[in-house]
Structure 1
Amino acid sequence: MDAMRLAFGEIKSEIKRVLVKYGMPEEKAETCARIHTETAYDGVYSHGTNRVARFVNYIQKGWVDVNAEPSLEREFGAIRVYNGNMGPGILNALYCTDRAMELADQYGIGIVGIRNTTHWMRGGTYGLYAARKGYAAIMWTNTESCMPPWGGRECRLGNNPFVMAVPSADGSEPLQLDMAMSQYSYGKLQVTRLAGEKLPYPGGFDDEGNLTDDPGAIEKSRRVLPVGYWKGSAFSFMLDILGSVLTDGIGAAGMDQKGYGSCGGCSQVMIVVDPGRTTTDAHMKEIVDTAVRYVKSSAPSEEGGSVRAPGQGSARFHEEHDSLGIYVDDDVWKEIQSL
């Protein structure tokens, strides 16, 4: 794969130009462009620069309303439910995370659901957003069908990305889990295929039903492997149902019927907790620090390897991108520039 290195500001400026061109108000375009660029800066190219062209395509098709705002539909105690009105998923998710943090300030916990929204891009963005402000967070989204249930051949389950985040003990980046319910997300399959590489472990089945590490073969068959096999299949199923129930929204079957692309009309849940209500700040830091040091004290399974806590892998991308510029695929950049 041919690639280039670009400055953060150059990428953000170009993405913003494109979004404004396709009707997004300037302030909203600035926020969306920043999130796409930050995602690439963190090394998640699949949901950063690589998603811009598809997002624009959805705007053109009317599947995303760039002017829509979330509207409150239900409120009781520490719970709020919003209608996303098919607005930009990034903006809707940031809005709901803000509301959840406000509720956590008042009640100790905030639970905010949003239905009828669109793709939030990288789910980890919102967990990091809350954890950087001192909150603990659990969040997820349901999606259209893109994974067969365990034992099945046809897609009936979503990847349903699941996020957990907690502030770090030393003031560095929060600890964070951001995972799809498949061994690899479709975005990761794309990035690996574009790089001309194989997956490090089998990630799905080919058309003949054989486990394979070939990302292109898995994209073609659309038979990604659930993480933990039947466990990931069940986890995905329950996230889909809970996401729909807690938002009065729809699940994979409903999104498949609507046909508005990836996550068109999806449901998302943001649960944010003020850990100061359950422990002291000093004890929380002690808990986190002890856990991280204990896990990292394990001897590496391979010579020269290392053990790291969830979320700590982005540090190496930051160092690389700060010194060399952010990695962008040539064809992806050309496509963005052509919009």
Structure 2
Amino acid sequence: MNRIPFNMMKDIIERAFIRAGLDHDKAAVCARIHTESSCDGIYSHGLNRVARFIDYLQRGWVNPQAQPVAIKQLGAINQYDGQRGVGITNALFAVEQAAHLARKNGVGIVTLRNTTHWMRGGTYGWQAVDQGLAAICWTNTESCMPAWGGMNPRLGNNPFVMAIPGAQPLVLDMAMSQYSYGQLQVTRLKGEQMPFPAGYDQQGNITLEPGPVEASMRIMPAGYWKGSSMAIVLDAMAAMLSAGLTTGEIDRVEQGSGTGASQVFMLFDPQQLGGADFTQRLTEDVERYVTTSKPAEGVERVFYPGEQQLLRRRQNRELGIPVDDDIWTQVVALAGD
């Protein structure tokens, strides 16, 4: 496995996106987000998603020219239709609109319907905390996980993000499945097993092996029945707030992962609540209290949400971003190099 400098990766991805039909501005933004995701160690939604996104563009499942259109503006909550535009730029737009509302009202809520895959959900948490704002964001998806007690997919893994600003922000980015399919892919490509049960194989056996779970599409809900229930209500709430599609309706779109999704972006201005200094002390106290836990057997130390991404970001900026050689070769070819 080689390491690629950040700017080289970003430039190659940008050229690939331009060749696929994105204008220069959108290509630059999307290339930056994909590269930042890989730089933070979320390889599954960074470099590894480039070829799939280009495939969706070429199939016409993503409209590269589309921009979000306002549907309703109701004080602190605004609804937009994403017009099946680029999921990353749609979501970045939604966060900026929610940030404007939050600075005005203390809270800002923007919902998106009819959008496409937003790639790494944590991107939008980091976008908020970089502006000193807190965030709760989530998206629904197509069915990729059985409901608890079921065999066939009926739930999205519906990524959920919470972010609290500070010198070292708290940023949670989690799917409602124990592992996302992207994490399964990354582990399979390394020839490794998952550290905890990932799901069921096609014979109904719980397994640590990622490949059989990818084949069966029986990924394990996080917290078993709890993750299953959370996925259901996140789906329903996203569709209700955006007047958009539920997972069952997205399934009928049949245009790849996330196409037609409903998304929610809730931002809060700490300056108008307890104040920026209070929030700073709060995050520091929480992080200190958690990370000074006595480590369990076989554990070196305890981390707070987002800490390991920051550590990988610093390391990968210095040493280069690790890549799977086959995936890197594919993206370089898509860039025309």
Which residue in the other structure is 1:266 paired with? 261
Which residue in the other structure is 2:161 paired with? 163
- Of the three residues 133, 136, 143, the one matched with 2:134 is 136
Which residue in the other structure is 1:62 paired with? 60
Cα deviation per residue 1:95-119 (whole Å; 9 max; x = unaligned)?
0000000000111100000000000
Which residue in the other structure is 1:153 paired with? 151
Which residue in the other structure is 2:27 paired with? 29
Partner Cα distance (1:121, 1:315) in 2: 19
What SS is found at the alignment partner of 2:155?
Answer: coil
- Of the three residues 316, 321, 335, the one matched with 1:321 is 316
Specify every segment of 5 or more residues in structure 1 that has no aligned partner in the other structure, as ranges: none
Which residue in the other structure is 1:84 paired with? 82
Partner Cα distance (2:242, 2:5) in 1: 39
- Of the three residues 173, 180, 197, the one matched with 1:185 is 180
Which residue in the other structure is 1:276 paired with? 271
- Of the three residues 292, 300, 310, the one matched with 1:305 is 300
Single out whichever of 300-309 and 193-202 deviates more from structure 2.
Answer: 300-309
Single out whichever of 19-28 and 296-305 deviates more from structure 2.
Answer: 296-305
Which residue in the other structure is 2:280 paired with? 285
**C-alpha displacement at 1:297, in angstroms?**
1.6
Cα deviation per residue 1:247-298 (whole Å; 9 max; x = unaligned)?
0100111111010100010000000000122202222222221111111121
**C-alpha displacement at 1:323, in angstroms?**
3.1
Kindly provide the amino acid, as one letter, of the partner of residue 119 in structure 1.
H
Partner Cα distance (1:304, 1:242) in 2: 37
Which residue in the other structure is 2:3 paired with? 5
Which residue in the other structure is 1:219 paired with? 214
**C-alpha displacement at 1:304, in angstroms?**
5.6
What SS is found at the alignment partner of 2:330?
Answer: helix
Partner Cα distance (1:308, 1:52) in 2: 30
Partner Cα distance (1:296, 1:317) in 2: 17
What does residue range 35-74 of structure 1 map to in structure 2 within 5 Å?
A: 35-74=33-72
**C-alpha displacement at 1:93, in angstroms?**
0.1
- Of the three residues 225, 236, 244, the one matched with 1:241 is 236
1:97 counterpart = 2:95: yes
**C-alpha displacement at 1:322, in angstroms?**
2.7
Alignment TM-score, normalising by the size of structure 1 = 0.97
What does residue range 98-137 of structure 1 map to in structure 2 within 5 Å?
A: 98-137=96-135
Partner Cα distance (2:108, 2:196) in 1: 38
Specify every segment of 5 or more residues in structure 2 that has no aligned partner in the other structure, as ranges: none
Partner Cα distance (1:24, 1:287) in 2: 42
Partner Cα distance (1:332, 1:29) in 2: 19
Kindly provide the amino acid, as one letter, of the partner of residue 95 in structure 2.
T
- Of the three residues 196, 219, 229, the one matched with 1:201 is 196
Partner Cα distance (1:304, 1:135) in 2: 33
Which runs of at least 4 in structure 1 moved beyond 4 Å after TM superposition? none
Kindly provide the amino acid, as one letter, of the partner of residue 194 in structure 2.
L
Partner Cα distance (1:130, 1:315) in 2: 16
Partner Cα distance (1:109, 1:43) in 2: 31
What SS is found at the alignment partner of 2:153?
Answer: coil
Partner Cα distance (1:248, 1:152) in 2: 28
Alignment TM-score, normalising by the size of structure 2 = 0.97
Paired residues, number: 334
Cα deviation per residue 1:216-265 (whole Å; 9 max; x = unaligned)?
01001100000010010000000000000000100111111010100010
Partner Cα distance (1:70, 1:186) in 2: 28
> Percent same amino acid among aligned pairs?
49
